[in-house]
């Protein structure tokens, strides 16, 4: 069993860390930002003062924080991970951040003699709790093989996509697809309800045809019931689409539908919905239509 440092025990990170613990691995947590979760400590996790101490104790150091600046801070602050690593250690960033920044972070970590994997995930809080996350990995094949048992404790669909940065590129692509599917389902249900049909029955009918999807199944139900407690917050999806649009600018390509989905998310944020689940994109469309599919 491995000695694992885990930094970032939020909505996603907490159940991911718990699943590693259930698989028999030893956990080391950093209390530099917030107190270590009591349930993980009660089950045997060790709380240390900062990321440097975590990195000194652990063979693998996993980072699961919201955005690029937070990863930069955890890695390279004065008492950060980079100050505590050396040969034989593997740093695994499972956050969803900039592919360009990831390549720079990996180079700095490699200079310390350690290995770096970018391994963002898809599947939301449900997948994190059930250990069924899809994990997209960028980095060296030997580091990937060493870390594979850890990934298998957290997910099911685990793919080495390529070198450092390629895991993050795959995650950005994933978030484009998810956003556009959410918008497609939201527009379809809004159209159906405004035209007088029962959106729940329309969803039921569509689930048996070519339009069927996980988004229609899970998020379509959320839209109809109005259950928008976050599994994945709109603000985080906005961050991911910003990465897509920034990357598109660097690549001189146009992503018009991604830009449009981002505008609808921005409408949600403007009416107070930054912390809603991303399935609440429909509320942005409803706001513009002055009509709710749940007021029937």
pLDDT digits (tens, 9 = 90+) for 270-287: 999 999 999 999 999 999
* CATH number assigned to the domain comprising residue 103: 3.40.50.720
**27 with 100, same domain?**
yes
Span of 31-35, 110-114, 192-196, 209-213 with lowest mean pLDDT: 31-35
* Residue among 108, 171, 239, 249 flagged as catalytic: 171
Per-chain mean pLDDT for the chain: 96
Do both 153 and 195 map to the same domain?
no
Q: What is the DSSP letter of 121?
A: E
Domain end, chosen from 162, 197, 227, is at 162
SS (H, E, C) 27-50: EEEECCCCCCCHHHHHCCCEEECC
Is the separation of the CB atoms in 96 and 240 below 8 Å? yes
Rounded average pLDDT over 87-101? 96
The C-alpha angle with vertex 159 and arms to 156 and 160, in degrees rounded to 5, equals: 145
What is d(CA 21, CA 49) in angstroms, rounded to the nearest whole number? 20
Q: Look up the CATH number of the domain holding residue 230.
A: 1.10.1040.10
pTM exceeds 0.85: yes
* Averaged pLDDT, 42-55: 97
Task: Categorize the per-residue pLDDT at 68 as very low, low, confident or very high, splitting at 50, 70 and 90.
Answer: very high
Question: In terms of domains, do 106 and 146 share one?
Answer: yes
Same domain, 153 and 202: no
Question: What pLDDT, in 10s, does the model give residues 161-188?
Answer: 999 999 999 999 999 999 999 999 999 9
Distance CA 170, CA 106 (A): 17
Residues 107 and 199 in one domain: no
Q: Which two tokens stand for residue 226?
A: 């109005």
Segment 237-269, tens digit of pLDDT = 999 999 999 999 999 999 999 999 999 999 999
pLDDT for position 122: 92
Label residues 237-261 b or e (16+ Cβ within 10 Å = b): bbbbbebbbebbeeeeeebeebeeb
As for how many domains the chain has, the answer is 2
99-146 pLDDT tens trace: 999 999 999 999 999 999 999 999 888 899 999 999 999 999 999 999
Assess whether pLDDT exceeds 70 at residue 296. no
Domain of 206 in residue numbering reads as 170-289
Would you call 171 a catalytic residue per the annotation? yes
The last residue of one of the domains, among 110, 138, 162, is 162
* pLDDT reported for residue 148: 98
């Amino acid at each position: 069993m491995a000695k694992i440092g885990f930094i970032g025990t939020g909505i996603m990170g907490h159940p991911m860390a718990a699943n590693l613990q259930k698989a028999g691995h030893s956990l080391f947590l950093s209390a530099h930002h917030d107190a270590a979760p009591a349930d993980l400590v009660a089950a045997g996790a060790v709380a240390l003062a900062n990321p440097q101490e975590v990195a000194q104790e652990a063979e693998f150091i996993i980072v699961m924080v919201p955005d690029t600046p937070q990863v930069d801070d955890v890695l390279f602050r004065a008492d950060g991970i980079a100050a505590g690593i050396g040969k034989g250690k593997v740093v695994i960033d499972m956050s969803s951040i900039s592919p360009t920044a990831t390549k720079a972070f990996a180079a700095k970590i490699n200079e310390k003699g350690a290995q770096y994997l970018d391994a963002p995930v898809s599947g939301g809080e449900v997948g994190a709790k059930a250990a069924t996350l899809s994990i997209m990995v960028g980095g060296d094949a030997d580091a990937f093989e060493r870390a594979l048992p850890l990934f298998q404790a957290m997910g099911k669909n685990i793919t080495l996509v390529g070198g450092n940065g390629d895991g993050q590129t795959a995650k950005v692509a994933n978030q484009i697809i998810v956003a556009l599917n959410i918008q497609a389902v939201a527009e379809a249900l809004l159209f159906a309800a405004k035209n007088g049909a029962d959106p729940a029955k329309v969803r039921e009918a569509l689930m048996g045809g070519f339009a069927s999807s996980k988004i229609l199944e899970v998020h379509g139900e959320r839209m109809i019931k109005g259950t928008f407690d976050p599994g994945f917050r709109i603000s985080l999806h906005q961050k991911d689409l910003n990465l897509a649009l920034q990357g598109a600018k660097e690549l001189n390509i146009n992503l018009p539908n991604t830009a449009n989905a981002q505008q609808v998310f921005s409408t949600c944020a403007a009416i107070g919905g930054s912390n809603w689940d991303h399935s609440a994109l429909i509320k942005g469309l409803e706001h513009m239509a002055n009509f709710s599919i749940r007021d029937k």
